[in-house]
Amino acid sequence: MWNAKMNTNLNLNPLLLRLLGGSKNYNPFPFSNAKIGKSSWQGRDAYVKSADVTVTYEIYTAGNQKKRNYISQELMDYINNSSKMLKEGDVYNCNGVKFLASQIPPVRGELLHEIKAEENVMDFGSNQYFKYISSDGKEHYLYSRDTMISNVLTERLRGESYDKVANRYGEFWRRMASSHDTVFIGETFSDEEINQYMKEAGIEHGFFTVKMGSYENTRYYSSTKTTNVIQSKERYDIKYKSMISGTHFLSYEPGTVFKYGGKEYVLSESHTLDIPYGEDIYDNDPAYPKNYRYGVKIS
């Protein structure tokens, strides 16, 4: 359910905060402040006064002439979160508010922040605008909904072209946050793509968590060259338990040397490995054990 009090939850750096007079309540759409509400819009002008500037604007309604004035940020939030609206000719109708594409303010990229991982946690939040800077240095604007990340719909309504790079980025992180099994991530995205996204996000190898609206999932990012680099925590835990319980290496003799994550581990008499939880158990050196091939002793 849309909440008229929602905000973008964006953060400013200290310098920009000082430039804006210390306020954190800044707006990526500065000419847009009116509240949504059928009775408060139709046939009326909206008037907003700040500390040092006065802005007067109008909304286009039936019977009025067409005027290029901006809709509110809150209406934009609603559109980008729900995508629910009607269109008759050139006129859009959302929640009883009628407007033209020319009345949608552009996203100001300089006020949007990138989302980076903190302590291997990638948190996209919900109902907020942000930008992604791709490897070619281009900026791409996105909006995080309750269950996904998408292109900013209002930018499309303004006439901006569909951003395939942003869509690919959003699809990657949506799958990271919501997919039960990570196998499909490896089938949809190459290791090169995955490694690039992880590097850009600042995620290190090991366990990491992705949060997106109502979704939250912990994954394992491996350096493996032999299987999927992204594994679910559930798969990791099952394999790890088998490695330390004696069921995974029954066909190998005690004393056999294995190599994981660049470190050697010796198989115990009970057919277990003393390997720490969190070690990269998918990054196994295929040359180890040296006297076995596919679990069969050759010398």
Predicted confidence (pLDDT) per residue in 250-290, tens digit: 888 999 999 999 999 999 999 999 999 999 999 998 878 88
Which of 3-7, 117-121, 241-245 comes out lowest in average pLDDT?
3-7
Which pLDDT value is given to residue 221? 98
How is residue 140 written in tokens?
A: 């791409």
Of 218, 215, 222, 229, give the one whose Cα is nearest residue 117.
Answer: 218
Q: How far apart are CA 153 and CA 160, in angstroms?
A: 9
Cα radius of gyration rounded to whole Å, the chain: 26
Which pLDDT value is given to residue 21? 35
Q: Which helix (H) or strand (E) holds 21?
A: none
Q: Which residue has the higher pLDDT, 274 or 25?
A: 274
Q: Is residue 51 pLDDT above 50, yes or no?
A: no
Which pLDDT value is given to residue 1? 36
How is residue 236 written in tokens?
A: 């990791």
Sequence-distant (6+) residues with CB within 8 A of 279 are 260, 261, 263
> pLDDT tens, 103-116?
999 999 999 999 99
Sequence-distant (6+) residues with CB within 8 A of 218 are 207, 208, 209, 233
Q: Is residue 222 pLDDT above 80, yes or no?
A: yes
Mean of the per-residue pLDDT values of the chain: 79
Mean pLDDT of 125-148: 92
Q: Is residue 35 pLDDT above 70, yes or no?
A: no
Q: Is residue 40 pLDDT above 60, yes or no?
A: no
Mean pLDDT of 216-241: 96
Q: Is residue 220 pLDDT above 50, yes or no?
A: yes
Q: Is residue 186 pLDDT above 80, yes or no?
A: yes
What are the boundaries of each domain within the chain? 14-105, 110-221, 236-297
- pLDDT category at 95 given cuts 50, 70, 90 is confident
- pLDDT category at 297 given cuts 50, 70, 90 is confident
- pLDDT category at 82 given cuts 50, 70, 90 is confident
Q: Is residue 6 pLDDT above 70, yes or no?
A: no
Q: Give the global pTM.
A: 0.73
Q: Which residue has the higher pLDDT, 32 or 171?
A: 171
Q: Where are the beta strands (DSSP E) in the chain?
A: 45-49, 54-58, 86-88, 91-94, 97-100, 121-123, 128-133, 139-144, 149-151, 206-212, 215-221, 230-232, 257-260, 263-266, 292-293, 296-297
- pLDDT category at 102 given cuts 50, 70, 90 is very high
Which pLDDT value is given to residue 233? 96
Which pLDDT value is given to residue 81? 87
Q: Which amino acid appears at position 77 of this protein?
A: D
Q: In 10 A of CB 64, how many CB atoms?
A: 12
Which pLDDT value is given to residue 299? 63
Which of 42-46, 128-132, 152-156, 176-180 comes out lowest in average pLDDT?
42-46
Q: Is residue 191 pLDDT above 70, yes or no?
A: yes
Q: Is residue 173 pLDDT above 90, yes or no?
A: yes
